[in-house]
Structure 1
Amino acid sequence: MYISNLKIKNYRNFKDFNIKLKPLTLIVGENNIGKSNLLNSLGLIFSQDISIYKKRNLEVSDFNYDVILQYKRDIIDNEKPLEEITFPVIEISATLVDWDEDQESVISDWYVNEELTEAELTYRYAPVSSFDRLAELATQREFINKFKIDIGEEKFSELPEKEILDLINFPISKYYYSIIGGNQNDTQANMYHLNQLKFELLDALRDAKLELSASHRGNLLFRVLNAKEENEYQDLKKQLVGLHNSIKENEAIQGIKEGISTQLDKISLTTEDFTNNINLIFSLPNVEDILKKLSLIYGENPLKIEHNGTGRNNLLFMSLILSYIEDPSSMESNYFRVVGIEEPESHLHANLQNHLAQNIELLIKEEGSNTYRKDIQLILVSHSNHITTKIDFDNTVVLYKNDNTLSTHYVLDGFSNNAEDRKRIKYLRKYLDAENINLFYSRKIILVEGISEKLLLPTFFKIETSNTIEKSSCCVVNINGLAFKNFLDIVKNGYHTKCLVLTDSDINTRAEDRAENLADLYSDIDQISVHITNESTFEKDIIASNKDGLGKDILLKVLKQVRPISGKQYGEGLGENEIDIEDYFDLIENFKSDFAYQLMIELEENNSGFTVPDYIKSGILFLNGSQSNDE
């Protein structure tokens, strides 16, 4: 069984959100896009076992900001009838599919379709039925209107909207949660059945050092150890039986007892039925006390947990919880478990990240099989390029903003099973490496043909916008050739983020129609804009844009650095004349990377008078929303 679909309404940054999930799902995207909130929303539906309990009674800050804002604006709008004002409600619905016979006994009351192939659980946070909503709205509106009279309409009109809205109380104390099974709003899920479905969360701020010691009941190691039946630890207590006699015979302890008795004789009375003799009693510890004395150590020269590196402790932490989850015998009464792991890469170097990602899928597969287990679903949230490139792209979904709406896109959605698309998928799996995968962590993408463009585009972008390309959440992807379609089809198939293609025109070559054909192919996709050099190549456009003036001086200086002898001779022979595009290009044709690198360094020091080629300027305008893809 697994959660195939998750709907989130009005929870934190999710206003009306829907995402498909798989038995193994990797969720990627830029910071603050909502990945952690998505995992937390699952915790509101499913009971939890060894992870931190997420209380289901929420706070005002858990509501989507926009819906709270609209609620308050409706109250101060005297033209809006109170009966038409709705109180925000948080709803989170999880659709369950593909269960086995044992799991069906748990979810059979929650069916939502006639075929009985889907079940649904919904967390709902709404006002209690006894709450007088109209009275609350009338009170809040009356308060605002009275405040307006008290300070005067003129002064009231000068107040910032936020200050007025802050005066309105949101009745969070009148809200309560319910967990609904099926699609009947009044059918509460049976708590016994609900408790058979667990959610474990390894959050990004986990304290591995603390959790790897069993000294407290709340620590992870204690809860894992304590999950076993007590009788499985009974043999440990046998080892303590002889300790009682040893304590009685210990000379140091006997001396302490006698010293206490002597002092007690001095300060208390002795009667016929009471003496001042004292003794020490040893009580055999219970199993829980024994477990609290345990902690993990690791390595050939084992160190205490507090002396381990953070990365090693993080690996131990994940191994501890995953070994517990992976073992079906430890699950006993639990029929299904969702495991959310935030940033599995925390404190791990690149090689360990690669190794972890390559093997983590084995945790939820049947032993010796490629079939996913039905008792576990794994949801990963990561910012790591290494993790992202090692998990199968079939299971990788991107969270991104599309016109201020939170959207999702599985990397391989839209690709078919025909020979051409299979070839493209193979290409993407090879070339979406740890660097190029950045396109899924950015809001804008620039695709370029080679290393020269890759080196210079960030500098050109800064010249034109005064911002760095990173600050603009833009990435440059070097596709190492002309295979633009493989990347552009990701955008075309639904990853609606702005994508600029910068490509050579290849005028007077056999491929001179290629660039125009590419532009025509994607001309109806608003998110894609193909910009083509005026000259035949990227370098020639740079030369053409800087043939004279200060731009000429910069190019001649760079040429001398790339070709010290030939460059100097060319500059001296040129005199006051303009640079000849072909002559200059002949000198750098076999040194394109060196030329790009030296030009980049020079422009970072001084770009005064340098002109960025027009096709790149217009491309940057497209990315920044100042130009359509038709221009």
Structure 2
Amino acid sequence: MKITHVKVCNYRNLRNIDIGLAETVAIIGENNSGKSNFLKAITLPFLTDDNIHISKKLSWSDINNETKKCYYNKIIENQNKIKNDEITIEQFVELLPIVSVEVNIQASGAEEYYVKDLSYEIRDGKIQYGIKYEFAPKSCEDIFRMVKEIVSENEINDANLNEVKMNLLPVEYYNYSVKVSDGSNISYDTLKQFKYEALEAERDDFSRTKNQLGSKFLVDLLKDGLSDQDKLKIEKEYSHFFESLKKISDINDIINWQDTSELKEAKKFFSHINILPNMPPMQSILNSVRLGYSEEELSMQGLGHRNLVLLFVLINSLIGKNSDTALNVLTIEEPEAHLCINNTRLMVSFLKAFTDKNKTVQLFYSTHSTEFINKMNLKNVVVLHKGKAFSFVDELEDEDIAYLAKNPNLDLFKLFFSKKCVLFEGISEELLIRSYIDSQVSLSEIELLSFHKGFEKIMNIWKKINEGSGNKLGIIRDYDDQLDAKKRHDKYNDDKEICVRTTEYYTLEPEIVNTGDNFNILKEKYGEVFGWSNMTAEQLTEAWKNAKASDMFTICKDLASGGLEGFQMPKHIQDVLDFLSQEQEEVL
């Protein structure tokens, strides 16, 4: 069983998200793009009264800012109509913002028993199951009355809006509901089959002192794992411990002081006084247990080790809890936080083994690490950018996924989130462009990524993600006598967000040789070294194409150090670099 689709409306910076999901979901994006909000949103439909530490009711700040802005603008525009009773309460209700999160669930075989009460329609011959969380007005009359009083007493405008905006949208008259997607009610017995665990990013204080999180979660883990027989055994062992303590310390003699008393009846009276065991509650016994590592308290370990142990303890605590659970959603923020590369890989392996073994658990995690992006399962990837989400399972066909997976230099973070990025095809282009960039301080922000042919799908996704961001993508490609391919790629060339340039010749080498005075510069500089002294431009080009990569490396090293005065970059590369050098106009 798994969540296959999610819709989020007006939750924090996620105004309108509607995407498909894979079995495991890896969320990537820049800082402040909405990753944490997405992880929080996905858990809202699974809120029950069992979550005593989680507020099921949202706050004013949880409502999307753009949606609130639209609402306030409508209030300002219609304040006279509201004041003069020219707007009905039914019309007013249409203006009020609503927060909702809806998840579609896929079940098969015996799993359908758990979701039988969650069906809401038949689509393409398949029964659809879904749960919807909604934060909506419960008393529209009270909100309408309050708004009417405010606009009757004040002329609302942009200047004074901040003084009354929370009263214009009083969320104390809102309430939450969790229902089937069609609006029908869900029983508690059905909803309790769906649970979630959220491991947030604020883990840095873990076990900094002896009374920190480590003990709490370890105690919960131990307590949940104890059977009745285990508890009986602990009680017996406690009694044995107490008897041993009495023998060692001769503790009865400490209080039975009748032998030294002057009272004649003291010996008889005090002989009945004894020390008895006082078996503490199981919680108290377990509270004395703390996590450690290598025979040391965990508080003595580094931050990375503390985070690693915390995650292992928390995730392991889910094992065994799933016997009565249809689906357990596990969300983790940045599992790589503070981990070295070896421990990062350990965590990747651990999470994979955990999800493979626990089929009732669906994992959602946000990450900034390429180690957590499985090239064999790129359908797992969801990209967030400024509150918008794009899922690879929706955007890419199987052949596109395969294309990306086979690319040896795949780095989705650099590709989608760099301010300036250049895609190119081969090692020669990389050496040449890197050496030129090294010689130009103004180009230091440019990221270089080697990709094989076939940039179209990449450009489609890139444009969706980076619309209005001010980020730029440059693509440098070889002609390879493929005119149709060139035309398809040129369609994306707008010289605003994307600049696509193709060689005029078949490959890069003749392009370099035939640019400006490069032929004479190369011949003079490397004629004797490479045997180019008596060659024509065509002969030099062929010799260079057949030469070892070390020849290109030597030329590029000299270019980077300023040893090729007068050398010009080929026009198709220079055009891209000039495009990336232009000032960016970011839309905030």
Which bin holds the TM-score, normalised by the shorter protein? Answer: 0.7 to 0.9
Q: State how far apart, in whole Å, the 2-side matches of 1:434 and 1:354 are.
A: 18
Measured after TM superposition, the shift of residue 202 of structure 1 is: 2.0
Measured after TM superposition, the shift of residue 280 of structure 1 is: 6.6
**Structure 2 residue corresponding to 1:283, chosen from 261, 278, 283:** 278
* Structure showing greater relative contact order (alpha-carbon pairs closer than 8 Å, 6 or more residues apart): 2
Q: State how far apart, in whole Å, the 2-side matches of 1:597 and 1:524 are.
A: 35
What letter is aligned with 2:335?
A: P
Structure 2 partner of 1:453: 429
Q: TM-score, normalised by structure 1?
A: 0.71
**Structure 2 residue corresponding to 1:518, chosen from 451, 476, 485:** 485
What letter is aligned with 2:16?
A: D
**Structure 2 residue corresponding to 1:489, chosen from 457, 465, 472:** 457
SS in 2 for 1:344: coil
Q: State how far apart, in whole Å, the 1-side matches of 2:140 and 2:402 are.
A: 59
What letter is aligned with 1:451?
A: I
Q: State how far apart, in whole Å, the 2-side matches of 1:190 and 1:448 are.
A: 56
Q: Show the 5 A alignment for 1:403-552.
A: 406-410=388-392, 413-416=395-398, 421=399, 426=402, 428-433=404-409, 435=411, 438-442=414-418, 445-455=421-431, 457=433, 466=442, 468-469=444-445, 475-479=447-451, 483-485=452-454, 487-492=455-460, 496=464, 499-505=473-479, 511=480, 513-514=481-482, 516-525=483-492, 529-533=499-503, 538=508, 547=517
Give yes or no for the alignment of 1:387 onto 2:372: yes
Report the number of matched residues. Answer: 545
Measured after TM superposition, the shift of residue 286 of structure 1 is: 2.0
Q: Show the 5 A alignment for 1:362-401.
A: 362-365=353-356, 373=359, 375-388=360-373, 390=374, 392-401=376-385
Structure 1 partner of 2:118: 110
Give yes or no for the alignment of 1:306 onto 2:288: no
Measured after TM superposition, the shift of residue 251 of structure 1 is: 5.1
Q: Show the 5 A alignment for 1:138-217.
A: 138-145=148-155, 161=158, 163-170=159-166, 171-185=169-183, 187-207=184-204, 209-210=206-207
Structure 2 partner of 1:91: 100
Q: TM-score, normalised by structure 2?
A: 0.76
Q: State how far apart, in whole Å, the 1-side matches of 2:114 and 2:401 are.
A: 39
Structure 2 partner of 1:14: 14
What letter is aligned with 1:233?
A: K
Q: State how far apart, in whole Å, the 2-side matches of 1:174 and 1:478 are.
A: 54
SS in 1 for 2:73: helix
Structure 2 partner of 1:42: 42
Alpha-carbon RMSD = 4.7
Structure 2 partner of 1:360: 351
**Structure 2 residue corresponding to 1:595, chosen from 532, 536, 555:** 555
Measured after TM superposition, the shift of residue 17 of structure 1 is: 0.6
What letter is aligned with 2:216?
A: N
**Structure 1 residue corresponding to 2:146, chosen from 136, 150, 166:** 136
Measured after TM superposition, the shift of residue 144 of structure 1 is: 4.5
**Contact 2:139–2:173 (CA<8 Å) still a contact in 1?**
no
Q: State how far apart, in whole Å, the 1-side matches of 2:332 and 2:410 are.
A: 20
Measured after TM superposition, the shift of residue 71 of structure 1 is: 1.9
SS in 2 for 1:365: helix
**Contact 1:46–1:194 (CA<8 Å) still a contact in 2?**
yes
Structure 1 residues 255-291: Cα deviation after superposition (integer angstroms, max 9, x where no partner): 87699xx9xxxxxxxxxxx99x998764112211121
Q: State how far apart, in whole Å, the 2-side matches of 1:33 and 1:339 are.
A: 21
What letter is aligned with 2:96?
A: F
**Contact 2:5–2:103 (CA<8 Å) still a contact in 1?**
yes
Structure 1 residues 380 and 559 mapped into 2: Cα distance closer, same or farther (>3 Å)?
Answer: farther
Percent pairwise identity: 23
Q: State how far apart, in whole Å, the 2-side matches of 1:352 and 1:380 are.
A: 17
SS in 2 for 1:22: coil
SS in 1 for 2:26: strand
* Structure 1 residue runs without a partner (length 5+): 149-160, 263-273, 367-371, 506-510, 571-579
**Structure 1 residue corresponding to 2:231, chosen from 223, 230, 233:** 233
SS in 1 for 2:445: coil
**Contact 2:20–2:393 (CA<8 Å) still a contact in 1?**
no
Measured after TM superposition, the shift of residue 614 of structure 1 is: 4.0
**Contact 2:26–2:372 (CA<8 Å) still a contact in 1?**
no
Structure 1 residues 426 and 78 mapped into 2: Cα distance closer, same or farther (>3 Å)?
Answer: closer
Structure 1 partner of 2:264: none
Q: State how far apart, in whole Å, the 2-side matches of 1:15 and 1:462 are.
A: 42
Q: State how far apart, in whole Å, the 1-side matches of 2:350 and 2:395 are.
A: 24
Structure 1 residues 433 and 341 mapped into 2: Cα distance closer, same or farther (>3 Å)?
Answer: farther
**Contact 2:13–2:387 (CA<8 Å) still a contact in 1?**
no
Structure 1 residues 395 and 227 mapped into 2: Cα distance closer, same or farther (>3 Å)?
Answer: farther
Structure 1 residues 460 and 433 mapped into 2: Cα distance closer, same or farther (>3 Å)?
Answer: closer
Q: Show the 5 A alignment for 1:244-283.
A: 244-247=242-245, 282-283=277-278
Q: State how far apart, in whole Å, the 2-side matches of 1:216 and 1:445 are.
A: 42
Measured after TM superposition, the shift of residue 123 of structure 1 is: 1.3
**Contact 2:131–2:180 (CA<8 Å) still a contact in 1?**
yes
